[in-house]
Amino acid sequence: MSQLTNTILDIAEQAAPALPPEALDSARLSLFDWLICGLAGIEEPLAEKLRHMAAHEGGRTASSVFGGGMAPARTAALVNGATSHALDYDDTHFAHVGHLSVAIYPAALAAGEETDASATDLAAAFLVGAEAAIRVGMVLGPAHYNRGFHQTATAGAFGAAVAAGRLYGLARDQMRAALGLCATRASGLKSQFGTMGKPFNAGIAAANGVECAALAGLGMTSCEDGVMGAQGFVSTHSDAPGTEIAAPDQFLFGDVKYKFHACCHGTHAMIEALSEVRPRLESGLDGIASMTLSTNPRWLKVCDIPDPHTGLEVKFSYRWLAGMVLGGQDTGAFETYSDELAGNPHFTEFARRVDVTGDPGLSDMQAEGVIVLTDGRRLEFSHDLAQKVASASLETRLRAKAHAVLGLGAEMIGPVLNRLPQMSASDLGRIVRGQA
């Protein structure tokens, strides 16, 4: 058995009292953020289509669905994963190279409702699942992502399987089998970015996790080590896998980053930097002769769409987003990203003045550049998302995000921050269904 697989199994077996309080606090904040994103995505066309599919399929109504109703656990996980990623407003873990909450919390909620778990047990299951997904993502490495795979869906599926398997009470051998089954099930491509297929990838990960955990619980067998074994997931999906594996007691989830702009997280360092520069502009976009942005080369294949044609594509366009920030548009409001915005001639013209280049010396959480004004002045900008932010400050910003996105509906999810230990998975399900 490989070191990676053994590490994941060790993490999955950790008792709740042994989990680091700081990491559990991050899991609590991510649960709150995931609920914001899921409730906000209910009216998205993707969400409506998947709810229709769930209703059409029917079956055992065991788990709650964003937008109302209940469905079989696997189907609910699919709907909720895709719905909560539909607005691309959810948290990111850059070492994992993907979004953890939208792949793992839907699986944890689906399994937690089935097993009548407490909300605390559900959050603990999410945390160990996230730690597993981070380690798989780090071993798959940048080569996997750069090759075209969407790590939210691939590495995330393993985390979803661990979270669901923990709540289903899988023994160690059964959890190993769930990981093996997930190795032949996990999938998701970056070619879907800018379409409904991207959030669908998150739903796939959640559904695959529930399915593989459930089948392992029923006794379905798999290869000995589907993750790292010969012709296993890593060897077939990465040309340059990483070799460093964090110990089971070294928790990494606390480095999760939350979104306060409703677009690809790869653009957020630029947005934060330009937000600091904007007050120094006297003539808005008209006073800018040119702008040069340097970013990690990884993002050039992700969020550098030079000429977006839809609101979804705008979320992956450095040039458009730069114009929006410097032009005073609200990048935190998801309604800003309309198809009409993609055709705005003012931003189209400004985009021609923006040059985006890759700099391998920058991490994927850094951005820097120079704005040259028409009067010849130069304004340098930079930002690093790796800067630590206190938990209390994050909670304040997340509450503000909830009110901005959900309005009065934000009060419904307040208990997640105030009294999670007194809640059950069923209580969380009622919030998801809009019945809290």
What tens digit of pLDDT does each residue of 66-91 get?
999 999 999 999 999 999 999 889 99
Alpha-carbon distance of 427 to 109, in angstroms, equals 10
Q: Region 413-422: what's the mean pLDDT?
A: 95
The secondary structure of 303-323 as a DSSP string is SB-SS--SHHHHTTBHHHHHH
Q: Region 238-249: what's the mean pLDDT?
A: 92
pTM of this prediction? 0.86
pLDDT in tens, 382-415: 999 999 999 999 999 999 999 989 998 999 999 9
pLDDT at 171 over 80: yes
CA-wise closest residue to 392 among 25, 12, 24, 20: 25
Query: For the chain, what percent of residues have pLDDT higher than 90?
Result: 88
The architecture CATH gives domain 3-257+390-432: Orthogonal Bundle (1.10)
Instruction: Determine the pLDDT at residue 261.
Output: 92
Structure confidence at residue 436 as a pLDDT band (50, 70, 90): confident
Where along the chain do its domains lie?
3-257+390-432, 265-384
Task: For the domain made up of 265-384, give the CATH fold.
Answer: 60s Ribosomal Protein L30; Chain: A; (3.30.1330)
pLDDT at 53 over 90: no
pLDDT at 149 over 80: yes
pLDDT in tens, 25-36: 999 999 999 999
pLDDT at 270 over 80: yes
Contacts of 147 (CB under 8 A, 6+ apart): 237, 238, 239
Comparing 178-182, 284-288, 379-383, the range with the smallest average pLDDT is 284-288
Structure confidence at residue 55 as a pLDDT band (50, 70, 90): confident
Question: Which parts of 184-308 fold into alpha helices (H)?
Answer: 197-217, 233-237, 268-277
Q: Do domains 3-257+390-432 and 265-384 have the same CATH topology?
A: no
Instruction: Determine the pLDDT at residue 176.
Output: 98
Alpha-carbon distance of 221 to 215, in angstroms, equals 9
Mean of the per-residue pLDDT values for the chain? 94
Instruction: Determine the pLDDT at residue 153.
Output: 98
pLDDT in tens, 333-374: 878 999 999 999 999 999 999 999 999 999 999 999 999 999
Instruction: Determine the pLDDT at residue 50.
Output: 86
Comparing 144-153, 331-340, 427-436, the range with the smallest average pLDDT is 331-340
